[in-house]
Amino acid sequence: MKRNLIFILFILFHHSLYAQDYNPIPIKTESVTDSFYSSYVVEDHYRWMEELPEKEMIHWLNEQNKMSEKYLTTCSNRTSSYWSIDKYSFAQYQRLQKIGGYFFQYFYTDKNGLPVLYYKRSPRSRSEELINPNYIGGKDKILLRTLAVSADDKYLAYTFSRNGVDWAEAKVMNLHDGTMADDQLKHNGLAWWRDGFFYSTYHNDSPLGKTLDQKVYYHRLGTKQHEDELVFDRKNPRLRFNYNVTSGERFLIIKEIDEDNDYVNIFYKDLNADMPVLRPMLMKRKEYINILDSRGGKLIAEVDSEMQSNKIVAIDPANPYRWEEITPGFSGAVLVEASPHKNCLVALYVISHRPVLSVFDYNGNSLYTLEFPVGTSVGNITGEMEDEIIYFNYESYSLPPITYQFNLNTFQKELFEQIVVNFDYENFVTEEVIYQTRDSVEVPMLLVYKEGMERNGKNPVLLKTYGGFGAITSPSFDPGVVHFVQEGGIFAYASVRGSGTKGHSWAWAGRGDKKENAINDFIDAAAFLIDDNYTNNQQIAAIGASIGGLIVASAAIKRPDLFNAVVPIVAPTDMLRFEQFTVGHMHTDEYGTVTDSTSFTHLFNYSPYHNVKEEVNYPAMLLITGENDDRVPPFHSYKFVARLQEGEAQKDPILLSVRKNAGHSGGNSLYNNRREDADIYGFVLWHTKGEE
């Protein structure tokens, strides 16, 4: 009897220890009804949240933040997440870049400040402070974005944004005597030519208005912006452009992207000509074409399509439809980065989560190949066309970045910079597993766990993905992952369709009307981890950011029984309204569009906001957004949270955390980065391990 009483007291104490107060915060509803194709009538109770916040909504957001802060602080404290993540966060600086004749690097000089730009003139000399964003904007939070150095190494042009928005300002610094010019930009960077640079602007009529009508200008130093020369403009306001100037300032390249018709046009201007004229070069091309640089009067380009995968070719602008192959497309290998140099070309491939660095001459002969372990990452190759020494970074989820210098003549790599860690990273195991989807497609997935992990069906698992735009998400050091694995967890990354992990066809198999493949692949990854006895449905959490946030939110709505916690970050969730704001219309090829009946049906089927059911208790969710996000407007998270919280069956917590003075990504201090990581991993551990 006494033993039973002790057991009952223990159970009561255990539940009181892990219990947390959660009370949904109500908000008004105003019904708006839309009709689509005579078959769909869609009711929206929270359309009014798409407007600038009014008094009632501001109060609601403040209350949401108070509730989530209290809940997440408890999670973090009881899982030691902040203390642990702070211990593993070694990176007081960010990756080295060589631009022109200078070496640039960002350092955090203050836990509560933003990274400061330093530079030096040689790799082993002492760095000097160059730009401190903490002194630029007064109360504004300033994030330095892009850097560009003039050909004579005299001027640095840099862009920065305020409080997380994508709109940026540009300044030019004589590297000795300060600021010279200001310009308004968005998204695209700067390209130097002679005593000025090319830049672009968009029309912007409101904070969340559509981003349209891009134009490319040339700005000459010492002149006013209204005097700038219009270089490229089109009548169709939906077109967008990329541009660059090749080595030696030989060619201006402008790529025009028509996403409505799914083709690109490429124009060039020979800047060495007596009378430079912008000319069409490749028109209405369906394949992916990226002009990397120029050499000997020819353009070096990466080409990727279902017919010509990952080739690097030379293109003579005078005869642009006869391409000279430099490197072939390799079966099973995806080209992720290429860096042309005077006598050779450095190409970085990924083969089933394994990076391979290769060097070729311009006749296509392989000169050198270096393979790295599975689950590691190589990238950020920096160096100019004439350089004999280049630099690249190497890292993994459990290993902070190491910088190597690499000699292009001897092919010797030498350690340049590394961080000494205070945990045994050799006890971390990274392996690739292959799982089969419901339609018999094999999907690769990385697993990171501690040596000795047992497949007993009781391991906490954090499953992550991105799954869009053909992007390859390379492993990068994450102190939160280290903490999670040290606590006995398994971190899993599923390379679902829609990503670029297995090339062009893999990306297309998960985009547009096939976007549900990416979501189903993610669901099937969770099912695999459960069926293969890694974990169970009470100990698995899902996380993703941006399009990855959409995928994990949609997966949780479709299969709430599979997950115990879900963290969508800056996620689009109302897919019937996404294309109406900012850059959404630029991504209808990736997501779909309501203007096509078939596409609409797919959008409606996977849109998280529109598939919430009143009678379902969904997994605990933490929605994170930035109040100034002008890429995925924060109302997506607001509306989704409001709809989930109103459900009568919803018992598990639905939390909203709105980052102040923040946008879609970046711009946090060291402390804020670690605080947010602690919130996320504390929440995940609480719901995958805390109530064992």
SS3 of 184-241: the string is EEECCCCEEECCEEEEEEEECCCCCCCCEEEEEEEEECCCCHHHCEEEECCCCCCCEE
pLDDT band at residue 16 using 50, 70 and 90 as cut-offs? very low
Whether 576 maps to a domain, the answer reads yes
pLDDT of 665 higher than 60: yes
- Do 477 and 610 belong together in one domain? yes
What does the mean pLDDT of the chain come to?
A: 91
Q: What is the pLDDT of residue 13?
A: 38
- Do 440 and 570 belong together in one domain? yes
Give me the mean pLDDT over the 531-540 stretch: 98
Q: What is the pLDDT of residue 288?
A: 87
Mark which of 420, 443, 474 sits at the end of a domain.
Answer: 420
Whether 570 maps to a domain, the answer reads yes
How long is the chain?
692
- Do 513 and 391 belong together in one domain? no
Helix axes 55-78, 670-688, angle to 10 degrees: 70
pLDDT of 213 higher than 90: yes
Cα–Cα distance for residue pair 567/484, rounded to 1 Å: 15
Least trusted range by pLDDT, from 2-6, 120-124, 388-392, 641-645: 2-6
pLDDT band at residue 183 using 50, 70 and 90 as cut-offs? low
Q: What is the pLDDT of residue 358?
A: 96
Q: What is the pLDDT of residue 515?
A: 98
- Do 559 and 652 belong together in one domain? yes
Give the residue, 86 or 612, on which the prediction is more confident: 612
Whether 68 maps to a domain, the answer reads yes
Give me the mean pLDDT over the 135-143 stretch: 83
- Rounding to the nearest 10 degrees, give the CA dihedral for residues 420, 421, 422, 423: -140
- Do 358 and 477 belong together in one domain? no
pLDDT of 179 higher than 80: no
Of 469, 668, 664, 642, the residue nearest 581 (C-alpha): 664
- Do 390 and 447 belong together in one domain? no
Whether 534 maps to a domain, the answer reads yes
341 lies in which domain range?
330-420
Give me the mean pLDDT over the 316-340 stretch: 91
SS3 of the chain: helix, strand, coil, percent, to 5: 25, 35, 40
Whether 248 maps to a domain, the answer reads no
Give me the mean pLDDT over the 306-331 stretch: 87
Asked if residues 606 and 519 have their Cβ atoms less than 8 Å apart, the reply is yes
Q: What is the pLDDT of residue 15?
A: 40
pLDDT of 303 higher than 70: yes
Which alpha helices (H) appear in 471-626, and where do they start and end?
479-486, 504-508, 515-531, 547-558, 588-591, 597-606
pLDDT of 19 higher than 80: no
Asked if residues 618 and 542 have their Cβ atoms less than 8 Å apart, the reply is no
Cα–Cα distance for residue pair 269/276, rounded to 1 Å: 6
Q: pLDDT tens, 250-271? A: 999 999 999 888 899 999 999 9
Whether 678 maps to a domain, the answer reads yes
Mark which of 388, 420, 452 sits at the end of a domain.
Answer: 420
Strand order in 376-382's β-sheet? 376-382, 389-396, 399-407, 413-417
Least trusted range by pLDDT, from 211-225, 232-246, 533-547: 211-225
Q: What is the three-state SS of 476-503?
A: CCCHHHHHHHHCCCEEEEECCECECCCC
- Do 362 and 469 belong together in one domain? no
Mark which of 405, 420, 435 sits at the end of a domain.
Answer: 420
Whether 583 maps to a domain, the answer reads yes
* Number of domains the chain is built from: 2
Cα–Cα distance for residue pair 250/193, rounded to 1 Å: 9
pLDDT of 169 higher than 50: yes
Cα–Cα distance for residue pair 445/429, rounded to 1 Å: 14
Cα–Cα distance for residue pair 191/39, rounded to 1 Å: 50
- Do 680 and 611 belong together in one domain? yes
Give me the mean pLDDT over the 458-465 stretch: 98
- Do 406 and 506 belong together in one domain? no
Rg (CA), the chain: 26
pLDDT of 214 higher than 80: yes
CATH code at 603? 3.40.50.1820
Cα–Cα distance for residue pair 75/358, rounded to 1 Å: 46
pLDDT band at residue 184 using 50, 70 and 90 as cut-offs? low
Q: What is the pLDDT of residue 420?
A: 77
Q: What is the pLDDT of residue 8?
A: 38
Of 165, 177, 171, 167, the residue nearest 197 (C-alpha): 171
Give me the mean pLDDT over the 402-409 stretch: 95
Q: What is the pLDDT of residue 2?
A: 45
CA distances from 124 to 93, 266, 407, 417, 593 (A): 16, 40, 16, 10, 53
pLDDT of 87 higher than 60: yes
pLDDT more than 70, % of the chain: 93
Q: What is the pLDDT of residue 667?
A: 66
- Output phi, psi for 545, to 5 deg: -120, 145
- Do 596 and 519 belong together in one domain? yes
- Do 410 and 501 belong together in one domain? no
Give me the mean pLDDT over the 574-596 stretch: 95
Cα–Cα distance for residue pair 501/656, rounded to 1 Å: 32
Whether 173 maps to a domain, the answer reads no
Q: What is the pLDDT of residue 9?
A: 38
- Do 382 and 452 belong together in one domain? no
pLDDT band at residue 92 using 50, 70 and 90 as cut-offs? low
